Copies of this chain bind each other. A is one copy, B any other.
Amino acid sequence: MAGLLHHPFCPHSRYVRLLLFESGVKVELIEERIWERRTEFLVLNPAGTTPVLIVDGYPPIPGAAVIAEFVDELYGAAMQRRLLPVSTEARIEVRRLTDWFNDKFYTEVSGPFATERIFKRLLPLANGGGTPEGAVLRAAGINLTYHLDYIRWLLRANDWLAGERMTLVDLAAAAHLSIVDYLGQLSWKAEDRAKDWYLRIKCRPSFRPILQHTLPGLPPADRYMQFDL
């Protein structure tokens, strides 16, 4: 049995939980509060970030990108529906877009929302806790509208973000969006392909355990647990 050091509201941890579940890799979850900077954790991942995957016989595997490559190399060939497709062309596009959501969307949208609204509540003042910065949240909200338009554009011809099948890209994008969703910041258009796509992922069994987490004093937005149109 493998273990995953994660935080329930870290979007990269959510992405890795989705990809492990969809790949059939069972893990024991261990919550890590990275701001406590536990020595034992820093030995596992000197970068001090979640998630970190622990698998017997291997060194600790830190970070969403390194974990995704590891899972593909070890379990991908046995999967009926590989999350990182086999053709070189598709691998380029899936890696490009997965990095897009894990890096760019995180920097511009899910990171600021998670930091300002969630982690600043959890952290002690001395470690960066405090009240959210309105200007940062407003900028993240504006960035979100552009990113949702890009998601709609990616879905213009297909049901999934990188083509006709679900890939790592869909899991990464939905993981980051789920943080924004918890905070009630997702607003859809009428007849919205992006909404249809998001609800399709949100209904999957892999998503269910993620949606269970709640924060004391900050309950999820009303629609967070609704799956219909």
Q: Which residues of B contact A91 (CB under 8 A)?
A: 69-70, 73
Query: Would you call B150 and A46 a contact (CB within 8 A)?
Result: yes
Query: Would you call A99 and B65 a contact (CB within 8 A)?
Result: yes
Give residues 72-110 of A contacting B (CB, 8 Å): 73-74, 88-89, 91-93, 95-96, 99-100, 104
- A187 to B3: give the CA distance in the assembly, Å: 41
Residue of B with least CB distance to A94:
B66
Q: Which residues of B contact A88 (CB under 8 A)?
A: 58, 70, 73-74
Q: Which residues of B contact A92 (CB under 8 A)?
A: 58-59, 61, 66, 70
Most buried by B among A59, A61, A66, A69: A66
A112 within 8 A of B: no
Q: What is the interface of chain A, defined by CB distance below 8 A to chain B?
A: 46-47, 58-59, 61-63, 65-66, 69-70, 73-74, 88-89, 91-93, 95-96, 99-100, 104, 150
